[in-house]
Amino acid sequence: MKRRNFIKSTAAGASAMLLTGTSNMVNAAPAQSEEITHYVLFWLKEGLSEQEITDFASFFELLREIPVVQSLRYGRPAKTNQREVVDNSFTYNLLATFKNLADINVYETHPIHLDAIQKYSHYWYKVVVHDSCL
């Protein structure tokens, strides 16, 4: 009987936390110490040669030099099976991680990042950024 009451009270407490937003899992703002994942999709302009598209990868190599970047990977769309939920319309993607929110804020305004954007932005017509905390 005690176990049944414990389960009921625990479930009721968890439900109340979710409804009121008091759980630190619900509506939580990223803490300063949470790792940040920076995922970016690039659509390059029509008419670029395959060599120009390949050369665009130098943009990512410049970003790799920024000291606050923990990891950086990039690539072209995979030739996965076409499905309604798969979008392979982009030309390149970038996946970078940062130790925390402060580091990605440094990255966003770092001279290497700004110079790389200035040098390579004429290649793209669209960029979409997704940042998330882990």
The CA distance from 10 to 70, in Å, is 39
- 75 shares a domain with 19: no
Residue 6's pLDDT band (cuts 50, 70, 90): very low
| Structure tokens that stand for 134 in this block | 């882990």
pLDDT at 123 over 90: yes
pTM, 2 dp: 0.74
- 88 shares a domain with 67: yes
Structural domain range at position 18:
1-30
Please tell me the predicted confidence (pLDDT) of residue 14. Answer: 45
- 114 shares a domain with 48: yes
- 40 shares a domain with 17: no
- 15 shares a domain with 51: no
The CATH number of the domain holding residue 126 is 3.30.70.100
Please tell me the predicted confidence (pLDDT) of residue 73. Answer: 98
Q: Which positions ≥6 away from 77 have C-beta within 8 Å?
A: 88, 89, 90, 91, 93
pLDDT tens per residue, range 37-63: 999 999 999 999 999 999 999 999 999
Closest CA relative to residue 126, chosen from 18, 12, 44, 51? 44
